Structure 1
Amino acid sequence: MKALVTGGGGFLGRSIMRKLLARGDTVRVLGRRPYPDLAALGVETVRADLQEAAAVQSACLGMDAVFHVAARAGYWGSWASYYGPNVIGTENVLHGCRKAGVRKLIYTSTPSVVSARGNLEHVDERVPYGEKFECPYPATKAQAEQLVLKANGTDGLLTVSLRPHLIFGPGDPHLLPRIIERGQHGQLIQVGNGANKVDVVYVENAADAHLLAADRLGQAPIDGQAYFISQGAPVVLWAWINTILERLGLPRIRRKMSYRTARTVGAVLEIAYTVLPLRGEPRMTRFLADQLATSHYFDISKARRALGYEPRISTDEGLEITLKSFAGCRTRAT
């Protein structure tokens, strides 16, 4: 199989790329930066932005499958800064696939497309998209996913969307490094009562799901559908974070903030960062408060049944591997 991986130089994209190479597939990577280490592995690299329609179409030429992993993620920023890469970029990928005669498109989405205030406990893919998003990221990802699924069956293109949640593992540039950094400086604050459960997924398991979806497209009736991807059992978020801190020799979280207070603080900071010339991003937003204080975990029975997905690496094993990769982190109690 000849496959294009958008965002192939990123965290999940690299894992997908390595698995494709390991089984003998030909891989092309599209990204905004040069990746000489990937070229050394025999990967063709295309330096382009997703919003460059002609470049995206050119990258799709000759491909059997496209793994559209690239996106702008986060909890703060202007609408335009998310809409461009996430929606326009996806439109360009879809157009490129159809023009180039690509047969399969595997889209990396997020469970946040169904985000809503309150708990989402063991819900499946029948739960509707969110109606009112408080952050451009889930809103634009929801738009993009709907474009992908609507495009299924057009010009011979089969599409599928995967929704991995809180991906962790070696090479993680965001989730654990941010926890560790703030833990080192005593800046972590528990939001809510600490009992909320969330799904996580080890990066290798998430990559497995993408390859399974690619292989099943055209062979099984999975096209035009979305699938939640996780470890299959949620973690208690704040207990899991404290476990990570303890394993790294850092103190447990002692400070707490109620969910209601966090929402209020988030709303105030959102206004401040919108009207004042403040740099960076607010430490709290309403969307972030929801993510930190409510339960959101999902039933992956559909992925198990239709894709044959099963998380091969357990959460404990994945965390062990991940923490070993962070062994060089300088930890200190504060």
Structure 2
Amino acid sequence: SEKAVLAAHDLPPGHLKTVALRPHLIWGLGDPNLIPRVLNRASKGRLRIVGQGQNKVDLTYIDNVVHAHLCAEAALDRPENNPGGKAYFISNDEPVNIWNWINELLDGRGLQKVEKSISLPKASRIGSVMEFFWKALRLRGEPPMTRFIASELAKDHYFDIAAAKRDLSYEPLVSMADGMVRLQQSLGGPH
């Protein structure tokens, strides 16, 4: 779908202006995905560090995602240096050790930190078996572990957002630390 959006840039009859934003791991107030899943699995003791636990990951606080969209809209209106037809990575531009970040989240909720670990090859094998059974038995929802999730939890994945800064005048407004404070306050303190 991203290719279709970018290909539609500046086509007649209406000369639609398009840009694609690629925010990574959106989190914050009202998050229906990342935060609830982490908290749910941690509260049931089902969270394990996958791999060595040293991987750095980019996350993007929700307010920064909104800000990036507003920056893109403004940039599309510029007659010069127009970013139309291009894709941009968006993040907080503060890669974090994902397990330290998860443990900070859990600590703020009064939950036990994740200390137990599992190797990436073992987590991938478990994910493969779970994927097979979920598909074969037509189970609802998603497996608690997949090969993709294992890889995402064990490997570095952060991005260079210099192009978004240059072309869209994007700068994150909310730091990772401030975002965590806001999130913890919205969740109402430890449980």
Aligned-partner Cα distance in 1 for 2:182–2:26: 14
Matched, 1:318 2:179: yes
1:171 corresponds to which of 30, 49, 53: 30
Asked if 1 retains the 8 angstrom alpha-carbon contact of 2:123 and 2:145, the reply is yes
Matched, 1:229 2:90: yes
The aligned residue for residue 116 of structure 2 is 255
The aligned residue for residue 201 of structure 1 is 60
Matched, 1:275 2:136: yes
Aligned-partner Cα distance in 2 for 1:323–1:208: 21
Asked if 1 retains the 8 angstrom alpha-carbon contact of 2:55 and 2:154, the reply is yes
Which structure dedicates a bigger proportion of its chain to strand?
A: 1
Matched, 1:304 2:165: yes
Asked if 1 retains the 8 angstrom alpha-carbon contact of 2:24 and 2:91, the reply is yes
Matched, 1:181 2:51: no
Amino acid at match of 2:127: G
- Aligned partner of residue 267 in structure 1, secondary structure: helix
Aligned-partner Cα distance in 2 for 1:182–1:259: 18
Amino acid at match of 1:247: G
- Aligned partner of residue 92 in structure 2, secondary structure: coil
- Aligned partner of residue 146 in structure 1, secondary structure: helix
Superimposed CA distance per residue, residues 9-47 of structure 1 (whole angstroms, 9 cap, x where no aligned partner): xxxxxxxxxxxxxxxxxxxxxxxxxxxxxxxxxxxxxxx
Amino acid at match of 2:118: M
Aligned-partner Cα distance in 2 for 1:250–1:231: 25
TM-score in terms of structure 2 length? 0.93
- Deviation at residue 158 of structure 1 after TM alignment: 1.4
- Aligned partner of residue 228 in structure 1, secondary structure: strand
Superimposed CA distance per residue, residues 282-302 of structure 1 (whole angstroms, 9 cap, x where no aligned partner): 111111111111110001111
Equivalent residue runs for 1:34-53 within 5 Å? none
Superimposed CA distance per residue, residues 73-124 of structure 1 (whole angstroms, 9 cap, x where no aligned partner): xxxxxxxxxxxxxxxxxxxxxxxxxxxxxxxxxxxxxxxxxxxxxxxxxxxx
Asked if 1 retains the 8 angstrom alpha-carbon contact of 2:25 and 2:59, the reply is yes
Matched, 1:158 2:20: no
- Deviation at residue 264 of structure 1 after TM alignment: 1.1
Superimposed CA distance per residue, residues 146-172 of structure 1 (whole angstroms, 9 cap, x where no aligned partner): 111111121211110000011111111
TM superposition outliers: structure 1 runs of 4+ over 4 Å: none
Matched, 1:217 2:72: no
Asked if 1 retains the 8 angstrom alpha-carbon contact of 2:108 and 2:189, the reply is no
- Deviation at residue 328 of structure 1 after TM alignment: 5.9
**Structure 2, unaligned runs of 5 or more:** none
The aligned residue for residue 287 of structure 1 is 148
- Aligned partner of residue 296 in structure 1, secondary structure: coil
- Aligned partner of residue 232 in structure 1, secondary structure: coil
